[in-house]
Amino acid sequence: MDKPLPQISRLFTWLFSAMLVLGGAALLVFGDKPKAYELPNGQPIGQRTVISFWENWTGVEGQAMRDVVDKFNMSQNRIYVNTVEVSTIDIKTLIAVAGGDPPDIVTLWSGDMGQFIAYNALTPLDSLEDHGIVTSHTYVPYIWRLCAPYGRLYAVAATPEINMLYWNKLLFAAAGLDPDKPPRTFDELNEMSHRLTLYDSSGHLKQIGFLPIVPGWWNSMWGVYFGNHLYNYQTGYFNVDTPEQIAAYSWFASFSKQLGFTAVDSFLSGSEQQFDSPLNPFMSGKVAMELIGPYFSNFIKRNNPGLAGHYGIAPFPTSFGKPGDVYHGDCDLWGIPRGAKHVPEAMEALQFFSEQDNIEYLCDKHCKPSPLMVVSRSFIANNPNPYIEEFEQAMHSQNVEVLPPSPIWARVNDELANAAQRIWYGAPVEETLQQEQVLINQWTSDALRLQKLRARQGTNE
């Protein structure tokens, strides 16, 4: 005989209902409430217009930005900037623009500019330029190229970076090298790297002089130091398989061939590629030279104070001239996304952020040079970066290569970084770059064709 189904007791039903009601009441009483904005001094913001600002920095850098925003919020009584820290900010901003609810101000990476401009995702900052607040004379030449890649101003500069070769003087001295003489040519770099590379008794790598995959962020840009101009601004096409580029990646691959990629992987497996970690190979003394930006000084001080007085910086060698004949530079930028609801207020905030004292405050906290053409004496005198003058000098160079403002740069960068990875793992250099050239040419011509088609059909927006 079938057993009768169990019955839910009346007491249980009542208890369960009471729990639901009590839980709901507790949520109402103690749950999260809509945020009431406050000024830094604790005063309510009153009738101010609230504008949203998506910022990609956190930590020390994020705090510096919040300080500037606080200063702006206290400087007037009409606008309140609400800062939100956002990861993968580029994609999230594009999706927000597509959804019709973007922030009023966004911090962008310079490599995003081409895609954002092509998708009409940024509001041109004509009024800032027309009123002479930000012009081509405001910034050093390469920063202006980033802000106005096609002549029209789409963004203003936040904090810049320009890469230099850091070298560990202690490791140089231990290897019998002059600790005050960095490599000036690729031959010297290779020779010094060889002397600085050490093995333990069981034949495992213990220390490496130079590794082009540390930190590995610019594997698509090595050609710069061999005289390659990756992007043709006139045609919109990329130069991927030029002799300069082939020379660059042959040099890149030579490290993998000499050391063995498995041995290098094993060597790096206990390290962190992050610059803000004591396990960074340069900071932990495992790699003697690294090409990286000015902010690195901040993190050396924090993660390995013992190294602070014992490293130097120098322009990276070039194959065609002397070190410093070309640099690779970058910059964080502020823009106003298309569809932002408070454009005049956002412009006013950008104008404030771009004032010299605010930019210098931010750059000081980031340990970076200034993007501005003119800097104050106090900025140089008080900057925590011991090599600020060298960085400032590099900033003013006429030969700074930047990330291409191509609409398809995200895709091309990923492809080139991947090609570099394959070359590192043994793929033939020339053949790989030739294949990449064909592929990227195809993508470029497709993108240009579609751009023209859209222009003809009037579907660009």
Partner 1 sequence: MSKAVNIADGQGRLYISWKDQLTGMAFAAPYLVGICIFLLFPLAMSLYYSFCDYSMLQPPLWIGLDNYRHLLTDDTFHIALINTLIYAAISVPCTLAWSIFLAILLNRQIRSQGIYRTIIFLPTLVPLVATGIIWNWLFNSDSGLINYFLRPVLGLVGGIAAHVAAWLGAGPATLQALHDISPPAWLGDPNWAMTAIIFVSFWGVGQTVVIFLAGLQDIPAELYEAAQIDGAGSWGRLRHVTLPMLSPVIFFNLIMGIIGSWQFFDIPYVMTAGGPGRATLVYSLYLFNAAFNELRMGAASAMAWILFLIILALTALAFWSAKKWVHYS
- CB-based burial of residue 272 (10 Å sphere; 0-12 exposed, 13-18 middle, 19+ buried)? middle
For residue 425, the minimal CB distance to partner 1 (Å) is 5
Q: Which element (helix H / strand E) includes 106? A: strand 105-109
User: What's at 83, amino acid-wise?
Assistant: T
For residue 243, the minimal CB distance to partner 1 (Å) is 24
Beta carbons of 371 and 140 less than 8 angstroms apart: yes
Nearest CB to partner 1, comparing residues 75 and 459:
459
Nearest CB to partner 1, comparing residues 225 and 238:
238
Nearest CB to partner 1, comparing residues 132 and 458:
458
For residue 390, the minimal CB distance to partner 1 (Å) is 35
CA 304 vs. chain centroid, Å, equals 23
- Token pair listed for 289: 């030279």
Which three-class secondary structure state does DSSP give residue 97?
helix
For residue 120, the minimal CB distance to partner 1 (Å) is 7
The Cα–Cα gap between 187 and 174 comes to 20
Beta carbons of 158 and 353 less than 8 angstroms apart: yes
Beta carbons of 90 and 140 less than 8 angstroms apart: no
Nearest CB to partner 1, comparing residues 94 and 198:
94
- CB-based burial of residue 339 (10 Å sphere; 0-12 exposed, 13-18 middle, 19+ buried)? middle
Beta carbons of 359 and 371 less than 8 angstroms apart: yes
Which three-class secondary structure state does DSSP give residue 171?
helix
Beta carbons of 264 and 252 less than 8 angstroms apart: no
Nearest CB to partner 1, comparing residues 235 and 269:
269
Helix 356-366 with 59-75: angle, nearest 10 deg: 160
For residue 121, the minimal CB distance to partner 1 (Å) is 6
Nearest CB to partner 1, comparing residues 32 and 200:
200
Beta carbons of 159 and 368 less than 8 angstroms apart: yes
For residue 86, the minimal CB distance to partner 1 (Å) is 15
For residue 186, the minimal CB distance to partner 1 (Å) is 25
Which three-class secondary structure state does DSSP give residue 38?
strand
Residues linked to residue 208 through DSSP beta bridges, in sequence order: 287
Nearest CB to partner 1, comparing residues 317 and 405:
405
For residue 258, the minimal CB distance to partner 1 (Å) is 17
- Token pair listed for 17: 């209902």
For residue 268, the minimal CB distance to partner 1 (Å) is 8
For residue 332, the minimal CB distance to partner 1 (Å) is 20
Beta carbons of 343 and 127 less than 8 angstroms apart: no
For residue 214, the minimal CB distance to partner 1 (Å) is 14
Nearest CB to partner 1, comparing residues 330 and 415:
415
Q: How far is CA 426 from CA 212, 245, 265, 329, in A?
A: 15, 17, 14, 29
Residue 325 burial (CB count, 10 A)? 16
- Token pair listed for 321: 């001239």
In the block, which residue shows the tokens 């059909």? Answer: 457
Residue 5 burial (CB count, 10 A)? 6
For residue 391, the minimal CB distance to partner 1 (Å) is 31
Nearest CB to partner 1, comparing residues 102 and 223:
102
Nearest CB to partner 1, comparing residues 256 and 354:
256
Contact residues for partner 1, defined by CB under 8 A: 91, 94-95, 97-98, 115, 119-121, 203, 261-262, 265-267, 269-270, 408, 410-411, 414-415, 418, 421-422, 424-425, 427, 435, 439, 446, 450, 453-454, 457, 459-461
The Cα–Cα gap between 360 and 379 comes to 6
- Token pair listed for 431: 């053949």
Q: How far is CA 155 from CA 53, 150, 269, in A?
A: 14, 12, 39
Nearest CB to partner 1, comparing residues 147 and 408:
408
